Amino acid sequence: MSRYLRKPRTAGSNQYRARPQLTPTTPARGLLSQLRQRYNNRSEGPIWLPEWQERIDLAKAGDAALGTLAQLARDPVWTVRAQVARNAVCPREMLTLLARDQASEVRFAVTENSQCPADLLEELSRDLNNDVRYGVASNPSCPPDALGSLNDDQDSDVRLAVARNSSCLPQVLSQLAHSPVQGIRVEVARNPASPPDALEHLFHSHDTRTRCIVAANPSCPSAILNQLAQDHDPGVRQDTARNPSCPPETLGQLAQDYESKVRRQTAANPSCPPRLLERMLQDPDTTIVEAAADNPGLPRAALAMWQLTRENSR
């Protein structure tokens, strides 16, 4: 989802805009007037008006002719140009033109294009607009060097996007793991590209949510998972039990946890060893037994025996 839809801003400002005051009885003309008023502070006026819809639809068509896109790339309405910039069939020379558009919304749209070349992303990583740099940091094709430079960005949202990007270099993620901003540390904890030293640091966090996310990270080293399996918080142990990378010996420990939700996640883990699943068929909690029976790792013979026993006990 576009950052502009998620977090609308006035061009050049970090302040939220007031929403239009609408009621069920607001007339159509009044609604259009308020939409115009709401967006008239952006780079080139409102974000959308009904009379532009045909050009917007043409600009985002996957089978659009290059001549049509070239014409729309010079449309006076920035919303139309932004749709051209997002179009995956937009050629490189057109993207280059749009990457230097006067409207920051259009430059941001270029960063959302899955086919945006690395050198353009590198160029846009130095853009003066925070949202454009955020778009660069969010692009999975962003060059590692550009992500490294955005690691020290003044905007915390940009740094958060760097922490979330799976193309980020390990040393950058290690640095971000020490960020004073909790949201950034959480994204490093979630990132499967995070190196062991970053996860080791975050594992010692006093914040339960951060430890839970480290425990759920499929790249978390076995040694850390083993320690997390002994965490005092049952939510952390539950996320450890859910992790498909959890080693067999740690799963064996979690299968004996006093919290039923931890044992249930252990029984449902696709990496749970067959012998452990057979043992968990004897758990006094029926929901755990059913989770073990539903696990594709349970041997067919054990499943058939359990089903037979269940039928005979009825």
Residue 246 burial class via C-beta count within 10 angstroms: exposed 0-12, middle 13-18, buried 19 and up: buried
Side chain identity at residue 80, one-letter code? V
Quick check: is 255 in a domain? Answer: no
Quick check: is 272 in a domain? Answer: no
pLDDT < 70: residue spans in the chain: 1-48, 314
CA distances from 141 to 33, 112, 113, 144, 210 (A): 40, 10, 10, 9, 27
Q: Considering just the CA atoms, what is the radius of gyration of the chain in Å?
A: 26
Quick check: is 312 in a domain? Answer: no
Side chain identity at residue 26, one-letter code? T
Could you tell me the sign of the dihedral formed by the alpha carbons of 211, 216, 222, 228, in that order?
positive
Quick check: is 32 in a domain? Answer: no
Quick check: is 125 in a domain? Answer: no
Domain count, the chain: 1
pLDDT tens-place string over residues 187-240:
999 999 999 999 999 999 889 999 999 999 999 999 999 999 999 999 999 999
Domain span at residue 83 reads 44-116
Quick check: is 107 in a domain? Answer: yes
pTM of the model: 0.77
Output the pLDDT for position 142: 94
Q: Which two tokens stand for residue 290?
A: 């059913």
Q: Which two tokens stand for residue 273?
A: 């060893």
For the chain, the distance separating the N- and C-terminal CA atoms, rounded to the nearest angstrom, is: 52
Neighbours of 129 (CB within 10 A): 19
